[in-house]
Amino acid sequence: MERWTPLAPSSASSGEAYATGMQADGAKIHEKDENFIGVWPSSVMANILSYASVTTLAKLERTCKRVRDMTREERLWKARWDAINWEQIDGMKDALLDTPAPRLPEKTSSVVKDPTAFIDLFSTLEDSVPSSRPYFDRLRSAFRLATPFYASVLKETSTTSSLIFTHPKITSLQGQCALIHNLAHIAAPRVAGIPDSMPEGLVRTKLASAAGYLDMELRNAFQAQVAEHDRGNLDTEPKMRLYAALAWNRRDLNTILGMPIRSSGLLRASKMHSLGGSTLATVYINERPVFHEPVPYNPKACIKTLERSEMAFNAEPIRSFVKHCHKCLEQEISLIHRIFPNQQEVELVFLEKFTDEILGDYLDGLLQNAEAHSPALYLDCFASSYELTVPLADAVTSAAPHIPLNDILSVIQMLWTARLEDYLSMEKTWAKDMLQSLCKKWQRNVSFPRLKQLEAALNEQHESNKHLASQLAAEQRSFMSKFKKALLTPAVEIPKSASVSSLPRLSTDQASHSSYENISEDHQGYIGLGQVPSALDEDANETDLSPSQSPKKPNASLRLAPPPSQTPPYMTRSHSPSPSPREKNSMSSMLSLDTAIELVNIVRLSLQRFHKVCVIDSKRVERAAIEIVVEFFSSINHQHFQPGFEKALAQIRSHDFAKHDQEMRESHHAVGHIGSLLLFFELVQTGDTIQEMMQVFFDRVAAPVLGKIDFSNAAVREKKRLENDLDQHVAQGMSAGVELLVQHIEHIILTHQEPRDFYPELNSTVNIAQPTNACEVCVATLQTYCELLASCADKALLEVLYQEIGFRLYAVLCKHLKRQIISQYGGFQVICDLNAYYAFIITLRQPALTSIFGALKRVGSLYIVDQPKELAKMVRDATLTGGTMRSEEMYEFLRSRSDFKSIERSIDSELYGIKVMEDCCIM
């Protein structure tokens, strides 16, 4: 920009001088920059020349010296010679063309000094060409060789009568293929070696017609060799391999000559056709006998009929079919590998057609027949068939080791990808229907145990079982230990109809193998988790098996587990021939472990099938698995936990104390149990066990197929909602249970406390070392329920419940003492009862409760002191109760003395200084 100056008015002479100066400046610039050719940089000019035809390059040489020097650059001709990819022609050997060109030096400096040598590049040029231009020499020789053939195809009306097919020296298919290859590449736009006098489009069309005719000749010759090979003549393989290589080497003629490319509905076939040179491969694959002979296997044989006309999947026929396919693939792929070039990947095309037509037809027949019987049978057939057909990849790998295993598996999985959506839809529908059906069946059959029988059973074992909470915890640990082991064992679906009874039952007793001794070979493995183990029997089941009780070898017969309809709705014990009364009246009628196990088993089967087929499309399978797990947790929450806890809470609130007290007296038991409250405590224990089952199931079975486990996962959110709702149900029940327990304690005190307990007759004998019957029953009842609370509540919740029970008990006892009539001898009985209550409170280990009950225990001394002055001092003494009671409250307790009316004036005088006889007079 420095050479430009602003325009200013000037005379004509000054303007001419200015223009002359500009021209001079421009000339100086071009003189300084030698990389410019005119106004174009030399790099741009070289790029333009790289797209010019060989005939155009000859014309460009006449433009200027710099362009002539660039067109004589040997690298320009090397690019065109490399694009031809010359093939040696049988019968027309050329020493120059058939000899590889020498390697060019890094930089070529040879320049032809004669500017007239390239005026007519290919027609008038003499043979005396400098030897430093090997690529130019080869292009010129190829041009001269191709020109007569181009003229012949334009002259003859039929390409079959042209010089390409009638040349006396070129008689073999191999020579004709090489000739067509060379002519097509010379005529390609990259080289553009067609003389200017010939129309390029028409020449390429004629060459395409000649190439098509040659394809037909090559195909006929190849088919003849294949027929000979099929008749047992193995000597034809070299010729078959030669023809396949000739067809493959001509793969780029479709693009060069504009020949149409065949398309196919199959992915691998379309890819092979797009590469070109697929004529022989397509014909060979389509005419293989395996695609035209009937398959000697019927898919209906995979579905067999069991007892009671139930249908089940039989894997043996499909195993035989897969073996047949494996053998067929191994033979065919091995032959393809020996004939066709590896780069063409004809093996995958054959495998794709085989899976689509042979495997696809067999699979469609199997799935349609299975779906006609039941959805469960369809799902089992789909997952099992996929698992059985995947090993077919081994046949291809052994016959064609150069093909990656992932490519082989992707071809096989395409067969299943097309059917995956239908399978996932049916799997989700089946799982949801089964979950709903099982929950509704439980709701219809749920029946609360009779409280009278439950209380009697509990009272019978109260004396022999002092640690009920420990037993419940041991039962839970034993059950969860077996549940975890069983959950890790592969599940096998018992062949049944599509109903709840068709589910394999998840049995935690499989260590003993006593429930399922006769399992057919088709269904060996883990049968199911169906029955809940009895408490503390785990070690016995594992170690006490005698040789006669050892698991029997599976035989051909199949003995099915009894369906849930034949088992009671409560928790069944698989080891106890005669369940105890407590087991018969178990809490599982409100929350059933059997039902929870069946629900787990339903989802477990679906997820295990998903685990088999997740390789097909992991994202779609993952989404379906999440939907099923969400439905599972929702069913457990809203159709199992919620109804059970609501009914238990209603039963707690409808407790009849009078009826309960009468039944307790009729049973002649010292300790009375609130059946509904005990049911709720066991309900919480069962709910906690089910929740732990859900956690173990989620961690070990569900998580591997649910993808990323975080808050964004709907299954994780639904699981968290289940836990929160369970905590809310437990909290509501605990609150109602504590209220009921306190009301029960108050009822016991009111009904069991005899009028003369604290006011005995003068001549009666009082055992002050033994608490009253009301106190003993209350303490025993409280101990029982606190032990149950300890078994079903964590430490933080347990402390809250203990404190609530303690404070409410304190209020009940204070109210009870204030309405009693207590004599001096009865005061010793009061102290004995308060000591018993205090001893119980100490076991709760709550400092706040210990403090107030210690103060209440010392209040008992108010009833054994007979001096009013001492009583007044005790009432005023705040240290007696540790500051927990005011003097007014102590005075209220004092009013319960039987002689309070006689000592009231003296006490009031000491407390308030009021002396009626001395300080008051009648006016």
Question: Is pLDDT at 436 greater than 80 in this prediction?
Answer: yes
Q: Give the Cβ contact number of residue 11 at 10 Å.
A: 8
Beta bridge partners of 37: 40
* pLDDT tens profile 566-602: 333 323 333 333 333 343 344 446 778 888 888 988 9
Return the closest-CA partner of residue 853 out of 864, 843, 863: 843
Res 885: pLDDT = 87
The single-letter code of the amino acid at 112 is V
Q: Where are the alpha helices (DSSP H) in 263-374?
A: 267-275, 279-286, 315-339, 346-354, 360-373
Q: How confident is the model at residue 706 (pLDDT cuts 50, 70, 90)?
A: confident
Summarised one tens digit per residue, pLDDT across range 788-834 is 777 766 788 788 888 989 999 999 999 999 989 999 888 899 999 99
Rounded Cα–Cα distance for residues 840 and 853 (Å): 10
pLDDT of residue 849: 92
DSSP code at position 309: G
Q: Indicate the range of 481-485, 496-500, 813-817, 825-829 predicted with least confidence.
A: 496-500
Helices (H), 33-133: 42-49, 54-60, 65-71, 74-84
pLDDT at 533 over 80: no
At 391, the amino acid letter reads P
What average pLDDT score do residues 479-499 get? 52
Q: How high is the pLDDT of residue 508?
A: 41
Q: What is the pLDDT of residues 230-259, one digit of tens each?
A: 888 888 999 999 999 888 888 878 778 766
Helix segments in 637-752, DSSP class H: 642-653, 657-667, 675-697, 714-752
Secondary structure element (H or E) that encloses residue 405, with its range:
helix 405-445
Please check the confidence at residue 63 and state whether its pLDDT lies above 60: yes
pLDDT band at 923 (very low <50, low <70, confident <90, very high): low
897: three-class secondary structure by DSSP: strand
Distance of CA 212 to the CA centre of its chain: 52
Cα–Cα distance between 337 and 398 in angstroms, integer? Answer: 11
Q: What does the block give as tokens for 860?
A: 């008992």
Q: Where are the beta strands (DSSP E) in 518-647?
A: none
Choice between 916 and 434, residue whose per-residue pLDDT is larger: 434
Q: What are phi and psi of 783, to 5 degrees?
A: -60, -45
* 558 closest CA partner among 533, 598, 527: 527
In the prediction, which pLDDT does 123 show? Answer: 45
Helix (H) or strand (E) holding 886: none
Instruction: Specify the range with the lowest mean pLDDT, choosing from 258-267, 367-376, 494-503.
Output: 494-503
Mean pLDDT (the chain) is 76
How many degrees, rounded to 5, is the angle at CA 42 between CA 37 and CA 44? 110
Helix axes of 593-613 and 675-697: crossing angle, nearest 10 degrees:
10
Coil, strand, or helix at residue 529? Answer: strand
Is 642 a residue whose pLDDT tops 70? yes
Interatomic CA distance for residues 357 and 68, integer angstroms: 63
pLDDT tens-digit map of 349-389: 999 999 999 999 999 999 999 999 889 999 999 999 998 98
- Give the Cα separation of 124 and 118 in Å (integer): 9
pLDDT above 90 (res 538): no
User: Could you count the other beta carbons within 10 Å of the beta carbon of residue 815?
Assistant: 11
What residues form DSSP beta bridges with 897?
Answer: 822
Please name each of the domains of the chain with its CATH number: 299-431 (no CATH), 451-542+570-730 (no CATH), 753-919 (1.20.58)
Q: How far apart are CA 614 and CA 631, in angstroms?
A: 20
Question: CA 14 from chain center: how many Å?
Answer: 88
Residue whose tokens read 């090979």: 229
DSSP structural state of residue 234: G
Nearest to 390, CA basis, from 351, 423, 353:
351
CA angle 620, 625, 628 (to 5 degrees): 130
The pLDDT confidence band at residue 143, using thresholds 50, 70 and 90, is confident
Contacts of residue 236, Cβ cutoff 8 Å, sequence gap at least 6: 225, 226, 228, 229
Q: Supply the pTM of this predicted model.
A: 0.67
pLDDT at 542 over 60: no
Gap between the Cα atoms of 336 and 352, Å rounded: 14
Torsion from C-alpha of 353, 354, 357, 359, nearest 10 degrees: -140
- For a pLDDT cut of 70, what percent of the chain falls above it? 73
The span from the CA of 169 to the CA of 527, in Å, is 77
| pLDDT(484) > 80 | no
Q: What is the pLDDT of residue 259?
A: 66
pLDDT at 256: 80
What crossing angle do the helices spanning 675-697 and 642-653 adopt, rounded to 10°? 160
CA distance 897 to 300: 93
What's residue 757's pLDDT? 86
Least confident stretch, 92-96, 501-505, 610-614, 908-912: 501-505
